């Protein structure tokens, strides 16, 4: 018997559904229509990778074997001692606290959509992605558990994700997606995040891990990313499918793309700071990564989608203007509020500042270097600055007000927007965050905003000490890197502690 082709295998192995007869379709798939997306024929759905379960297990099993061999070897060889610097580990803390729980949310979300989509092709692809996301959660926790033995800031990441202020940024992003219908969910996570933005998270960051001697993170990152290329394809396929099925779908999809690219972009501002400031050795700046993966690659994508009547979001010029500022502004926010964070911040050394100045010739020396030098001066006087007040945060993205009017030509003025709804005033960091709120105010008035929750007495008490206790952030998890137990241990392991004491 002749061997089946890939296309034939795909059809035999994925078209496994049937027409229900005991119950009407709309009862079996109750979420398939309420968002207004019209589907003429689910059989038009095709996965360009034509992945079947049988091939899926084979490839995933092979990837796991490779990854676990490297993780074992990393642990056996005390791989953490070969890092460029212990400051680097803070990027991993932020990753485990902020990103890994999102992988788990994605696992749950895709399992739900796999159940809700009436089309078998879409359902099978969502099932595979759901399994992938669970795999990512597990491999990230396993890999980073090695660091938990030697560094602070890893020990209670799930609690932190649910409670701590800066983690409400990624958490609220996913809560928003998870409470949307199946089609919006797939545009938010599958298309906007996976197709357009995920390269910005994984590719430069993992290449950065390699640059900083972190073999185990490189491996889980790239192992996850090889699944991502399948996820990106699912996201793009889902969007093209909706656009091809009915012209009435176009404005709905456009509105979702506008919303979710901005939501994702704001979440990734944490990655911008991580990439430019936390990696001691950086292979690429945030701005360079943005230019390659958003402007060049996203630009080509939107040209492809033009034929369907889809355009680049109107706020793209804001992102273009902000690329010279984003990482510096977010690092400033994190630096100010490190007393209540489960990672360390610091003023970069001269070498790093020179690198930032070379990568950001138009902005770093002019706006951000003087501020960092001022903070360093305060530190040298023993007055390291920690903000003593709770910040005003954006109702939509939940980032403290710290972005400036860059796109309106005034980079020194913090951007504030506000609107009134049902007699209450709501605050935003930007025009797009305000527009997102105004489209769905009933959704966003329910946002769990950390400062408000603290003031309402829902977070253990009114003092910083009370809140840290409620967070379970322990001494050593927070504050500046200088003087931290992480730093002390690192200097001892590397034989630098005695030399430093002698110098002092």
271 binding other proteins? (CB under 8 A): no
Query: 422's torsion region: left (phi>0), alpha (psi -120 to 50) or beta?
Result: left
Q: What is the rounded end-to-end Cα distance, in angstroms, of the chain? A: 80
Under 8 Å CB-to-CB from 462, ≥6 apart: which residues?
Answer: 454
How many Cβ atoms are within 10 Å of 68's Cβ, its own excluded? 16
Return the DSSP state at 212.
T
Least distance from other proteins to the Cβ atom of residue 466, Å: 44
Among 77, 82, 303, 418, binds other proteins (CB under 8 A): 303
Residues numbered 59 to 78 that lie near other proteins (CB under 8 A) are 59, 62-63, 66
Among 25, 81, 300, 499, binds other proteins (CB under 8 A): 300
Q: Which is nearer to other proteins, 210 or 464 (CB)?
A: 210
* Distance (Å, whole) CA 279 – CA 256: 33
218 binding other proteins? (CB under 8 A): yes
Binding-residue total with other proteins (CB under 8 A): 41
Among 5, 78, 82, 145, binds other proteins (CB under 8 A): 5
368 binding other proteins? (CB under 8 A): no
Contact 386, 339 (CB under 8 A): yes
Beta strands in 415-475 (DSSP E): 417-421, 424-428
Among 283, 451, 460, 476, binds other proteins (CB under 8 A): 283
Least distance from other proteins to the Cβ atom of residue 300, Å: 4
* Nearest CA among 42, 314, 31 for reference residue 179: 31
Least distance from other proteins to the Cβ atom of residue 296, Å: 6
Binding mask 32-51 for other proteins (x = CB under 8 A): ----------------xxxx
Among 206, 319, 334, 415, binds other proteins (CB under 8 A): 206
Least distance from other proteins to the Cβ atom of residue 194, Å: 10
Q: For residue 411, give the H/E element and its range.
A: strand 410-414
* Distance (Å, whole) CA 269 – CA 169: 10
Instruction: Name the one range near other proteins by CB under 8 A: 19-27, 33-41, 138-146, 196-204.
Output: 196-204
299 binding other proteins? (CB under 8 A): yes
Q: Which is nearer to other proteins, 61 or 423 (CB)?
A: 61
Q: Which is nearer to other proteins, 206 or 429 (CB)?
A: 206
Least distance from other proteins to the Cβ atom of residue 311, Å: 13
* Nearest CA among 214, 167, 153 for reference residue 334: 167
460 binding other proteins? (CB under 8 A): no
210 binding other proteins? (CB under 8 A): yes
Q: Which is nearer to other proteins, 194 or 487 (CB)?
A: 194
How many Cβ atoms are within 10 Å of 504's Cβ, its own excluded? 5
Q: What are the structure tokens assigned to 95, written together?
A: 């990753």
Least distance from other proteins to the Cβ atom of residue 478, Å: 31
279 binding other proteins? (CB under 8 A): no
* Nearest CA among 143, 148, 106 for reference residue 220: 143
241 binding other proteins? (CB under 8 A): no
Instruction: Name the one range near other proteins by CB under 8 A: 129-137, 230-238, 337-345, 471-479.
Output: 230-238
The interaxial angle of helices 120-148 and 215-245, nearest 10 deg, is 160
Residues numbered 377 to 436 that lie near other proteins (CB under 8 A) are none
Q: CA of 102: how far to CAs of 97, 159, 167, 185, 238, in Å? A: 9, 13, 11, 14, 21
Residue 76, judged by CB atoms within 10 A of its CB (0-12, 13-18, 19+), counts as exposed
How many Cβ atoms are within 10 Å of 456's Cβ, its own excluded? 9
20 binding other proteins? (CB under 8 A): no
Contact 329, 401 (CB under 8 A): no
* Distance (Å, whole) CA 243 – CA 237: 10
Among 53, 55, 134, 312, binds other proteins (CB under 8 A): 55
Q: Which is nearer to other proteins, 292 or 339 (CB)?
A: 292
Chain Cα centroid distance, residue 451: 22
Contact 327, 272 (CB under 8 A): yes
Using CB under 8 A, list all residues that contact other proteins. 5-7, 48-51, 55, 59, 62-63, 66, 199, 202-203, 206-211, 218, 222, 225-226, 228-230, 232-233, 236, 283-284, 296-297, 299-300, 303-304, 306-307
């Amino acid at each position: 018997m002749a061997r089946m082709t890939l296309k034939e295998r795909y059809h035999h192995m994925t078209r496994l559904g049937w027409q229900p007869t005991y119950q009407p379709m709309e009862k079996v798939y109750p979420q398939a229509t309420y968002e207004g997306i019209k589907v003429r024929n689910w059989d038009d759905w095709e996965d360009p990778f034509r992945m079947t379960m049988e091939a899926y297990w084979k490839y995933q099993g092979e990837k796991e074997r490779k990854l676990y061999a490297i993780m074992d070897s990393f642990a056996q060889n005390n791989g953490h001692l070969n890092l460029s610097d212990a400051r680097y580990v803070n990027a991993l803390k932020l990753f485990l606290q902020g990103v890994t729980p999102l992988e788990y949310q994605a696992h749950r979300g895709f399992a739900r959509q796999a159940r809700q989509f009436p089309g078998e092709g879409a359902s099978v692809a969502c099932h595979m992605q759901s399994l992938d996301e669970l795999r990512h959660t597990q491999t990230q926790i396993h890999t980073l558990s090695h660091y938990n033995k030697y560094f602070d800031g890893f020990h209670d990441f799930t609690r932190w994700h649910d409670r701590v202020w800066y983690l409400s940024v990624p958490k609220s992003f996913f809560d928003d997606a998870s409470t949307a219908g199946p089609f919006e969910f797939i545009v938010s996570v599958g298309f906007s995040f996976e197709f357009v933005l995920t390269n910005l998270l994984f590719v430069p960051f993992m290449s950065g891990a390699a640059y900083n001697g972190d073999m185990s993170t490189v491996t889980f990152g790239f192992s996850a990313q090889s699944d991502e290329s399948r996820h990106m394809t699912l996201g793009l396929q889902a969007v093209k499918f909706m656009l091809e099925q009915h012209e009435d779908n176009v404005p709905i999809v456009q509105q979702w793309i506008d919303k979710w690219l901005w939501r994702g972009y704001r979440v990734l501002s944490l990655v911008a700071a991580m990439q430019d400031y936390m990696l001691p050795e950086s292979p690429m700046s945030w701005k360079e990564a943005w230019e390659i993966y958003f402007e060049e690659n996203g630009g080509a994508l939107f040209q492809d989608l033009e034929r369907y009547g889809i355009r680049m979001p109107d706020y793209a010029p804001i992102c273009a203007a902000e690329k010279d500022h984003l990482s510096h502004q977010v690092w400033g926010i994190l630096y100010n509020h490190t007393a209540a964070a489960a990672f360390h911040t610091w003023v970069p050394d001269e070498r790093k500042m020179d690198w930032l100045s070379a990568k950001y010739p138009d902005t770093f020396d002019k706006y951000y270097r003087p501020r960092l030098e001022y903070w360093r001066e305060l530190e040298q006087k023993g007055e390291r600055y920690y903000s003593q007040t709770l910040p005003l945060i954006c109702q939509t993205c939940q980032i403290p007000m710290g972005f400036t009017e860059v796109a309106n030509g005034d980079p020194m003025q913090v951007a504030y927007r506000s609107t009134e709804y049902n007699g209450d005033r709501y605050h935003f960091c930007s025009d797009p965050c305000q527009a997102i709120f105004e489209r769905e105010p009933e959704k966003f008035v329910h946002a769990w905003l950390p400062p408000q929750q603290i003031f309402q007495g829902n977070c253990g008490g009114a003092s910083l000490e009370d809140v840290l206790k409620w967070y379970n952030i322990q001494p050593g998890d927070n504050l500046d890197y200088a003087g931290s137990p992480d730093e002390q241990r690192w200097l001892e392991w590397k034989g630098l502690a005695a030399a430093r004491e002698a110098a002092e």
